[in-house]
Structures are given as structure tokens and as C-alpha cells.
A and B are shown apart, each in its own frame.
Chain A
Amino acid sequence: MAMDTTLPAERAQHWSRTRRQPTAFGRLFDSKTFLIIACLLPTVGLLGVFLTYPLGLGIWLAFTDGTIGRRGQFVGFENFEWLFTDPIFWNAVFFSVFYTTLATIGKFALGLWLALLLNQYMPFKSFFRAIILLPWIVPTVLSAIAFWWMYDPQFSIISWVFIELGLRTTNIDFIGSEWPARFSLIVANIWRGIPFVAISLLAGLQTISPSLYEAALLDGATAWQRFRYITFPMLLPILAIVMTFSIIFTFTDFQLVYAITRGGPVNSTHLLATLAFQRGIPGGELAEGAAIAVSMIPFLVFATLFSYFALARRKWQQGEGND
């Protein structure tokens, strides 16, 4: 109200003054270069210091003889030469590959099946979808402890059911000996991985246009043909990405094995990550642990290249589809 009594010129001056005030600071933010640097700084800083540098440091550590509390000397390939003669290391390599292969096949077969089931018309669909994600939301270690309890040599509920049904007379030895322990861990990993695969693939399925299925039905395609020639090719790009992630994170898995068997019995279920931890942190042999961790890198590079070529294939497919 007081403004109305002032002269128009004065008012204009007042107006322009308040406008000029933020420009000193504002202009700095209007400079695009400054803005880009300011915006990227936190991310680049965090990732540079806590991701890129440790990655380099880890590779360097693998070529030294450092232990906890002692800076190591460069020793060349000594750690690797030593590891390559170590049967426990080769066992961990074998089990990592075996674990990843079987768990990935299991997760994707069952996950795809579940996604196809959920993609059908049904009541309470979003409720089912919500419930199914639960194993993936809950901390892995905690559900792994539940599996550990279910795999208990004496009080396993699974053994109890089998005995009650008359299928067995003795308790099942889940984690007490080499091969059963390996398969038990793979089952636990598949259990944990199904929800992620199913929900991701469901999202992929929902992007497939129903008109394609209508056209196929009109042309007389069977259910299998519709799956083989429509669903699967359309799902392939997302399948490739989800699979890459799944392979990388299954291969470098740590929690599940550490919680259920800690690498036992007799080191038979060590993955590379658990072996690296055991040697590196409680064992104190930092350099050796780092060398084991670094030896995972070739496998990861392979998985990433797989993803890259799958993506390239996606572009190629889209190009063909447009013709």
C-alpha cells in the first residue's frame, strides 16, 4: 500500500535495484562452464576418490607384498605366480564360475517363467508383484541366515518334511560336505535372484505391443511360436542388460557364502570374493587378497563386453525392424 504513494520513477528505480541484487551470484551460476563443473564436482569427487583411486590402488597392491600395517614393496607377478600354484585359489575360480553359471541359468529360467505368469491377466496383480519382490528387498545376509537355519544339519525343516513324507530316513546333509554345500548355496542364490529378474523382465514384457500377438494369432501361430518369435526377440535387449548385471553381481557375490558356509567345508565353497576377504582382512595378507580380487577383473570385463555387444545387437535389431 505504501508503494502507491511514491512516484512512478521512484518505483521503477526500486524495482530495478532489487532485480540487480542477485546477479553477482546469479551470473556465476549463469556461466555454463562454472555450472557444469559445480554440478559434476560432487559425483566426480566421490567416485574419483572412493572408486577410481581404490581400483588403481587395488591393482597396485596386487603387485606388492603389503600386509596390514606395512607398506609393501613392488614384487611383480610374485603374488599371482604363488596363487596359480594354490589349489584353494583354483577351487575358488572353479566354484565362482560354476556358481555363476548354474545360478544364472536357474534365476533366468524361473524368473522368466514367473514374469510370463505375472504378465497374464489376473486379479490382485500389483499385490502379487509387490509380494514377490520381498526376497530382494530384505537384507541378503538376514535371509541367508534364514537359509542357514533351514539347512541346519539337525533341525532342518526341509529334512523334517522329507522324513515325514517318508521320502528319506535320515537328515539331509545340506552344508556339511562339498557338493551338497555348493548346491545349497546355488539354490539360496537363485531364490534371492528370481524377484529381480522376474520384475525386470515383466517390465520388458509390458512394453511389447499386444498387436504383435494379435497379428500372430491371426496368422495361426502357436503359443510356443508366439514366445519364440515375438516375446523372446523383443525381450532380448532387456534380457541382455539384466543378465550382465546378474552375472557380474553373482560372480562377485560375497554375502550369501560368507553367511551360510564361510567358504567351508574345507574351503570347497569359497568364491573369489570370500577367499579375497579371508586372506586379505582377517588373514592380514592385503597384497594376496588384492591379487585374488584383481583376478576377478578379466571375468568382469568379459561380462561387460557381452553387455556392450548385446546392446549393439539391439541397435541392429531395431534397424532391421524398421525396414
Chain B
Amino acid sequence: MSNAASDGPEAMQWDSRARRVVTLWVPLCCFLFILLFPFYWMTVTAFKPDAELYDFATHNPFWITSPTLDHIRKLLFETSYPSWLWTTMLVSVGATFLSLFASTLAAYAIQRLRFRGSQYVGLAIYLAYLVPPSILFIPLATMVVQLGLFDSPMALILVYPTFLVPFCTWLLIGYFKSIPYELEECALIDGATRLQILTKITLPLAVPGLISAGIFSFTLSWNEFIYALAFIQSSENKTVPVAILTELVTGDVYQWGALMAGSLLGSLPVAIFYSFFVDYYVSSLTGAVKE
């Protein structure tokens, strides 16, 4: 307390411009550079002709002197890339809707119907989120074979909810909590059935939560790898991440141009999707953590 007087100048010094550049902008720019460089490198490689790609001596590798669409053309017309994209889209949309349906009902039951033991059901669902796919894929593979779903996108649509439902349920419980219970009571007094309350009052108010959960599920399904790798065998049924790694990597000579073009095209849908819903992503990510 005795040196409180010397505090004024120190606080001012903290805000001085030079110090701010060193403590804020320089590290921030380093972070941005490192976090974004792989994407830049991916893009540059995807549009470089092979001659430039493997010749760093005469061409500066950071820039493209004669950009080409060769790799992308090759990818789209000489491989089954369109069908991989279609499978991935189908699986992601299917798994997302299935998970949203199940988790909305579950979250409503846990948060709003408040039965004895509901918090234990919530805890069990939370624990389910902590079970990683790496433990489950071997027994699930045997189950998928027994159910006759091996090599079918249906297997993925049914299995993806195992990691989507717990996440979505926790997210939606948080959202339902923020909707005043009085609204439901009013509707009950006015003679609405429980079903009407859910569809006409709670769900419309929880739309931002549903969007968050939906886009999050879509992204997670799009990015999923291990189940898709273990359950799908035929080339045309593969999802984009698996197909790029298993179909485009052939032999000892890697076609880096095509690989990077494939990675770029496979990342673009989620990246575009993400750019439209940034705020929902941030809120769902942080909302789920805070729960």
C-alpha cells in the first residue's frame, strides 16, 4: 500500500504504444501466421503446376508464377471426388438431424420435465461424451458387420450420434435453462398440451441453440475419421477425409498437388459454413465448456 503513489506512472506506462506493440501485436501476428500458414501452403500447392512444385531453386516456393487448375480438374474428373463429397454430405446431414432430434427431446426431458433422477441421466450423458471413439471402433466394427451395415453410409449415420448426442444434449440443456419456465406455465394454464408447448413455445425460443448444435454436429460429422476409416471399404462410399488419405496416396510418389487440392476442397465446405455461423460456433464451443 505504501507504494501506491508510484502506481500511476506504471499504469500509464502499461498503456504506452510501444509496449502495446511488443506485448500485443507482435505475438498476435506470430500466432496468426503460424495458425494460418498451413492453409496458405495448402492453397499455394493446390494451384501450382508440378514443375514449380518440385523446383524451389528457380521459383520462390511462397508464390505461384503460373497458377494452374490442373490438380483440381484432375481431382474432380479423374477420381470419384464428387461421390466422396456426396457421401460426406449425406452422412453429415443424416447424422446431424438424427442427433438433433434425439438430443432436443432428451434435453427437454432432463431440463423441463424434471423427474426424479434426471440429474443422473444428465450426468450419464455427460460421461458418454468422455468415451472416445478410439475405444469403441473395434467392437462397433464387429457390430456393424453383424447388422449387415458394413460399407454402407447408414452405419456412419447411426454411429456418429454416439459422440454428437451427448454434446448437443448438454448444449441444449443450457439453452432450455435460459428460457423462462413461466412461459410454459402460462401455456399449460391456457390448456396447451405438453407436445404443443414443446413445438410452439420451447423449440422456437431455442432456435439459436438448435442452430449451434446443428452446425457443430455437421462439422464434427464432416471431420470424423476413425469410424469412416474402419466401416467403409468401397471407394465410392468413402467420406472425403478418408478418401483423400487412402485413395489419393498411391505408391511411393505422392501427388502433392492433387493431395493439397483435395484437402483444400474438403476443407472449403466447412470453412464456408463456418464463416456464416462464426458466432454460433463460438457460443456453442464456449457454452458447452461452461455447462
Contacts and interface: CB of A to CB of B under 8 A. Distances in A.
Interface of A: 22, 26, 29-30, 32, 35-36, 38-44, 46-47, 50-55, 57-58, 61, 66, 110, 113-114, 117-118, 120, 122, 126, 128-135, 137-143, 145-147, 149-150, 152, 154-155, 157, 160, 191, 194-196, 199-200, 202-204, 207, 217-220, 223, 238, 241-242, 244-245, 248-249, 252-255, 258-259, 272-273, 276-277, 280-281, 286, 289-290, 293-294, 296-297, 300, 304
B56 to A, nearest CB: 5
A283 to B, nearest CB: 11
A294 B281 CA distance: 33
Contact of B139 (A122, A131, A137, A290): A290
B24 A146 contact: no
Nearest to B105: A39
B151 to A, nearest CB: 13
Contacts of B132: 248-249, 252, 296, 300
Interface string B98-138: 10011101101100010100000100010110111111111
A217 B62 CA distance: 47
B241 A141 contact: yes
A35 B289 contact: no
B51 interface: no
B134 A276 contact: yes
12 contacts: A43-B102, A47-B125, A58-B136, A138-B39, A140-B223, A141-B241, A203-B289, A204-B289, A252-B135, A255-B241, A293-B134, A300-B132
Contacts of A113: 27
Tell me whether chain B's interface is mostly helix, strand or loop, or mixed.
Answer: helix
Interface of B: 1, 3-4, 7, 11, 14, 24, 27-28, 31-32, 34-36, 38-39, 41-42, 45, 53-54, 56, 61-62, 98, 101-103, 105-106, 108-109, 113, 115, 121, 125, 127-128, 130-143, 158-159, 161-162, 165-166, 169, 193-196, 219, 222-223, 225-226, 229-230, 240-242, 244-245, 256, 259-260, 262-263, 266-267, 270-271, 274-275, 278-279, 281-282, 285-286, 289-290
B260 A149 contact: yes
